[in-house]
Chains A and B, each alone.
Chain A
Amino acid sequence: MNAIWVLARSAYESRLQYTASHAVRTVASVIFGMIYISIWQGIGEQHALEGYGRAGMVAYMAFNQVILWTTFTSHGLGLEDRVRTGQIALDLVRPLNLFVFAAGREAGSIAYNALFTALPLYVLYTFLFGLPVPSDPFVWLRTIAALVMAAYTAICISYCIGVTALWTVESRWFSLLNYSLNFVLSGFLMPIAWMPHWLQAVARLSPYPVFNDIPTRTYLGHAAPEALLAPLVWCVLLSFACIAATSAVRRKVEVQGG
């Protein structure tokens, strides 16, 4: 546990060094948020948006844009570069499981994103778009639980993508595929319940609703407490997948260079 804390803190502190580029990225994030919110402001002029209304959908999109940063992981947790440089061999020699090592570092980065991107965006969107602030502490508790599980799920998926570099050398396209599936199936653009039935079925069988649909509906009070069961199941399943992947990596590793 101490190792994870040290790794997370070092990643967090290293991210603190790039404040100017961080500011540019936050501005970009505000613009991205504006783009997606504008879609629903446009649609809301002509449609009732059942269950949400125009203001509710603006809040849904705004909160999605805020929490995006708590599940935003680096490509393959940086493992691809470590495979290319041969650093992966040294990582495997460490007296620390490769998954714990990579996940610990990423957790620090996510904490930084949450504090310096998600939180300012949350405050900004509360003023700009009237994002509602729940008064029920249990809603907050469930939202935080959903977000923690979403972040962990994102780390696990990125880890699985990162270790594929041991077989394919380049795993960037898996990250992009993951991003695309996430974009369509997570409920980022619209609640999953509004999707065509076949797409709803695909989405609900995937881990992607864990990232947006479940935390945002929980925050807005549209989801029952049982909605948190799905993220819990995915966290357990993906943990096993990561353990199995680490075991496979140990047998597969070959140094590309250095």
Chain B
Amino acid sequence: MNWLRISWMLYKINVRARMQYRLSFLLTTLLASVVTVAEFLGLAVVLHAFGAIRGWNVWEIGYLYGVLMTAKYLYRGFGSAVNNFEPYLVNGQLDQLLLRPMPLLLSVLTSRTRMIGGELLQSLTVLGVCIGKLLGDGTVGWTAIPATLLIVCTGTVIMFAVGLATAAIGFWTTRTEDLSVLTDNASTTACQLPLSLFPDWLRTLLLAVIPFGFINYVPAMFIVKAEWGWWTIPATAAVAALSMAAALGLWRVGVRKYQSTGT
């Protein structure tokens, strides 16, 4: 409990430090709310012109997008340091954190904060509007709301686990930025769409190697499409738990292997 209190205090200090640059903070918040929705807007324009892609309409794809991006920004809110871990290894910043009398992962997580209010507002708006529409036309029932809240939580855990595993690989490779383009950016872009669109190898990659497919597509096949059974929800939770355990294991091994760059 003590660690949590200290972590919360460090987090608040980071937030206050961020807000010192007022113009930058205001612009960041304002522009963030515009930027995040643009990718979905691009896709919405395509869907507006052609109706649906392989049976998925704009609201159903919006649901996939909303769940994925909400999980992403929740993760980025507290895991910004893990998401951009390379400077800690390249510049030797991790050496300072190793000296702190608290668990290393908590030290890393509380060493940097990212304000995600604008992005989260946008992804929640898309998610809320799409659920509202799907409820309105009877595609989903009210049970979709608690199920969606649950998969946003498991999705955040999966996002964090993949981010942590990518960061941990940096203990061997030092540089992780390009790897995270693969494990984070490319996977996120792919999972904004139904996985059924993609060739088998890409679908397998997104279900078995980088399990982002379990953030939204797998549970949505039950919650939205009702094509798969209720088992998708516990399966999603199990994948989240396994991913987290594997990532923490890799992190622990990596920390033991860590050699400072000396800078």
Contact = CB atoms under 8 A, between A and B. Distances in A.
A183 B182 contact: no
Q: Which of A31, A41, A174 has the most CB of B within 10 A?
A: A31
A39 interface: yes
Interface in A202-217: none
A127 to B, nearest CB: 15
A193 to B, nearest CB: 10
Contacts of A176: 31-32, 35
B46 A39 contact: yes
B42 A168 contact: no
A94 B35 CA distance: 36
A183 B177 contact: no
A184 B31 contact: no
B15 interface: no
A115 to B, nearest CB: 18
A31 B186 contact: yes
Q: Which of B27, B175, B189 has the most CB of A within 10 A?
A: B27
Nearest to A43: B50
Contacts of B54: 42, 45
B19 interface: no
Interface string A24-37: 11011001101100
Number of chain A interface residues as a range? 35 or more
Contacts of A45: 54
B182 A27 contact: yes
Given A24-B181, A47-B50, A196-B48, A188 B42 contact: yes
B87 to A, nearest CB: 12
A21 B169 CA distance: 14
A28 B35 contact: no
State the main secondary structure of chain B at its contact with A. helix
Contacts of B175: 21
Nearest to A174: B31
B72 to A, nearest CB: 14
Nearest to B26: A168
A31 B202 contact: yes
B24 A189 contact: no
Contact of A189 (B27, B43, B197, B202): B43
Given A35-B189, A43-B46, A168 B24 contact: yes
Contact of A180 (B23, B35, B46, B178): B35
A31 B43 contact: no
Given A35-B190, A42-B54, A189-B45, A181 B27 contact: no
Interface string B167-199: 000000001011101100110011001000111
A247 interface: no
A13 interface: no
B4 interface: no
Contact of A32 (B35, B39, B189, B198): B189
A179 B31 CA distance: 12
B28 interface: yes
Interface in B1-53: 21, 23-24, 27-28, 31-32, 34-35, 38-39, 41-43, 45-46, 48-53
A173 B39 contact: no
B178 A24 contact: yes
A39 B31 contact: no
Interface string A52-93: 000000000000000000000000000000000000000000
A183 B42 CA distance: 7
B46 A189 contact: yes
Contacts of A168: 23-24, 27
Nearest to A182: B38
Contact of A28 (B31, B32, B186, B199): B186
Shortest 6 CB-CB contacts between residues of A and residues of B: A180-B38, A21-B178, A173-B31, A24-B178, A170-B24, A42-B53
Interface of B: 21, 23-24, 27-28, 31-32, 34-35, 38-39, 41-43, 45-46, 48-54, 175, 177-179, 181-182, 185-186, 189-190, 193, 197-199, 202
5 contacts: A43-B50, A45-B54, A177-B34, A194-B49, A196-B45
Given A168-B23, A177-B35, A179-B35, 15 more contacts: A21-B177, A34-B198, A38-B197, A39-B197, A41-B197, A43-B50, A46-B51, A168-B27, A169-B23, A170-B28, A173-B27, A173-B28, A173-B32, A177-B31, A184-B38
Interface of A: 21-22, 24-25, 27-28, 31-32, 34-35, 38-39, 41-43, 45-47, 167-170, 173-174, 176-177, 179-181, 183-184, 188-190, 194-196, 199
